[in-house]
Each structure stands twice: as structure tokens, then as C-alpha cells.
A and B are shown apart, each in its own frame.
Chain A
């Protein structure tokens, strides 16, 4: 069972003239959270995007449960959710509609489940408002609701605690802990501390060139 989870071996990624990832490797077994740390521009986002198969590294490979993810990208994508530093919300749709479309693409969700998820992230009062009128922190909370609904084993989070108040950050921690307890894997890129029990967190420090 040593290959359960997400692994990367010797990733090298170039963006134009810049050698962004220089031989990066990691192992995030089930139940573990990988905290990707590093200064701005150190390649945290690039690593996350490479890990979810959006970017093709020049060398090295990413393995999900022991299999190269590029062998069957659709199946790999069906088992992950990626949230970039800007939550992917449509400005003209309400929080609820955004969530319904976003999660609906992946699995069937009923109204009750959506409402429960929005309630949990404290979005019940403004779930009918267009996303255009929401603050950055509120948009983040909608993304958290999506996380809790996606029911996928792999989470890739770019700066998950940005723009959130103290209570929101605790919520991120609680959601990540639940995911780990379920046997899920979390990759979180942030230069802040993660509000998660230290024993479950592995740290990967990316350095600037």
C-alpha cells in the first residue's frame, strides 16, 4: 500500500527562460497534508498546476496511487478538486448557482446538500447574492463549500486561507482535517501556517532560483 496517494519524482519545469521547478519530488500518502511553502515566485502555484496535470513538466512524473497521471487524465481529474488563488465563480451568478454548476459538473447534488454546505461555511445569508457583490473572503467561503461537496480524495489548494477571517481559517483547518481523516490527500500551497495539527502535515519548501 506504499503507493497509495500522490507522489512526484524529480519534476523539472521551465516557464520560458525560467527554470521554475528544479528536481522537485514529494510523497503525500493517504491521510497526509503536504504544505507547499516558499517565497512569492518560488513556484508553489506551478507545482500545484503540474500536480493536477494542467502543466506538463519537462522531466519527472506525477503518480496517483502509483500510476502516472498522464496515462488517464480524465480519471485522475475526476478524483481531484483544484482551487486556484481566485475562486472560479461567475460574477453574474449567485453563490448557490455557482456552486450548483461547479459541483454539478462532477456529481449530482440536490438542493438540500447545497444548502447544508453553504450553511456550514456561513454563506446561508448571502447565498442568493450575485458573486460580483461578494467580498474576497466570501468568495473563498463559497470555494470551501465546493470542497466539502466535491467528495474527491485529492484536494489541491492554492493559498486556501487568504482573505479569510480567523474563524474562516479555522474552518479551512477543520475541513482539511476531515479530509485527512477520511483518508484523503491535501496539497496546500501557502506562505502562511496551516491551521492543521502538525503531525499530519509534511512540509515542502520551495526555494527561489
Chain B
């Protein structure tokens, strides 16, 4: 941000203004960048919360060998499904807090009153959520995949499917999180609302990972996954913004 000279406060304060939209107003992109930056800063101030979904993912994927069989051949058959269900639940785990703190401390109200399009700000918040859960999950996926007997050649396919799939999951989740804002202990309701909508993501994501493990081409399900993510990017922030406005009434 460019610095303004010290005298601006006095100068602008002295002359009468007609509207709030002055030449030095913040653009939508800049406002969205600030929202993203704020959420990332806050997340790194509270690292405990940041680590929880990742630890959850790691523990769930290590529970399966204990429950099913330590035989890699058998684990390999379920690896794609296990990784994807664990990623889906881990992403869901972090959703509840997406808007809750903002609603509690009045930040959401200020977003709605900032004069900036709420849709853009919701997109920024969802992007922050993905950077803090989806991306780390994708980076952790190789470890889980290898420990479940997946061949090293399958790693790129699995990482790509989780990275793209969690974009769609974060976006779908943002609608659910916004809709359940007014409700106390919304965790279970949020899951009931979000999980059915996440089914297509789970199906195509697990299919892409499965094909990658088999050494087959996984492009087709990955493309469908990308289509879901793009659909989410265009529609979900609109829905989340509308839900947030309703929650402020």
C-alpha cells in the first residue's frame, strides 16, 4: 500500500465531502486481498486450530491399516477411498469456524457494510480456507498414499485430485457454513447439509485417485473434478454472500 503524506488527514478533514467514494478508495481486489491476508494472519496466530484437520487426516488414514490389514496389497485396494473420505471429513472439520468468529466479533457485519461486493469477500474467505486446509491436505496426501501401499507413480494423480477436489469442497462448505451461522452447535447440521452436496466431488476424486493407483489415465475424472471446482467458484460465493446477509438480519 502506498503511503500517504502526513498532511492528508488535516487536508481532507477540513474540506467538506460529498460522498464516501473518494479517489483513494479501495478496489474490490484489494479488499479481497486484505480479507485473505487477515484470515491467514489470524490462522497463523492460532496454530493449534490450523493443525487439527491435518492431524485428523493423518490419524484417520493410519487407523485403516490397523483395522483392515497391514498387507499392502489389500490396503492398496482401499487406499483411494480411505484418503478421500479422510480428506472430506478433515476439510469439513475446519469449516465450522469459517464464518463463526467473524459473526461473533462483528467482522461479518463490517464486511457487509464495507461498500465492497460481499461476493468477492466471501470468495477471499473461502480461498483462505482452502489455502489453510485443502492445500496442506494435498501436500500430506503422498505420505498417506505411500503408507497405504500406493505406488510412487500414483502420487501426482492423488495430489492433483485432492488439490482440485478440496477447492470444490471448500466452496460447497462455505454455503453450508454461511447458512448455519445463526444456529448454535451447528456442527452436525453443517455436516448433514454439506456431505450430500459433496458426493460428486468424492466420487470423481476417489475415481481419479483409484485410476492413478492402478497406473491408468486419470484425466477424465480429474477434468470433471475441475469442472465442479469452476462451477463452485462461479456460484458458491454468491450463495454464501446471500446467506451471510440473511444471517445479519
Q: Which residues of A contact B (CB under 8 A)?
A: 52, 54-56, 74-82, 84, 86-93, 97, 101-102, 104-113, 116-117, 149-154, 178, 182-183
Q: Does A55 contact B249, Cβ atoms closer than 8 Å?
A: yes
In the complex, residue of chain A having the shortest beta-carbon distance to the beta carbon of B8: A113
Q: Which of these, A55, A105, A112, contacts B110 with CB under 8 Å? A: A105
Q: Do A54 and B113 contact each other (CB < 8 Å), given the known contacts A84-B106, A86-B105, A90-B38?
A: yes
Q: Do A110 and B1 contact each other (CB < 8 Å), given the known contacts A82-B109, A105-B31?
A: yes
Q: Which residues of B contact A (CB under 8 A)?
A: 1-6, 8-9, 12-22, 24-26, 30-31, 34-35, 37-38, 41-42, 45-46, 101, 105-107, 109-117, 248-249
B112: A residues at CB distance < 8 A = 54, 77
In the bound complex, CA of A105 to CA of B124 (Å):
13
In the complex, residue of chain B having the shortest beta-carbon distance to the beta carbon of A156: B113
Apart from A90-B38, A93-B38, A106-B26, list 17 A-B contacts with CB within 8 A.
Answer: A54-B249, A74-B117, A77-B115, A82-B109, A92-B45, A105-B26, A105-B34, A108-B1, A108-B26, A111-B3, A112-B5, A116-B6, A151-B12, A153-B17, A153-B18, A153-B19, A153-B20
Q: Does B105 contact A89, Cβ atoms closer than 8 Å?
A: yes
In the complex, residue of chain A having the shortest beta-carbon distance to the beta carbon of B43: A92
Q: Does B105 contact A108, Cβ atoms closer than 8 Å?
A: no
B248: A residues at CB distance < 8 A = 54
In the bound complex, CA of A78 to CA of B114 (Å):
6
In the complex, residue of chain B having the shortest beta-carbon distance to the beta carbon of A152: B20
Q: Tell me the smallest distance from the CB of B240 to a CB of chain A, in Å.
A: 17
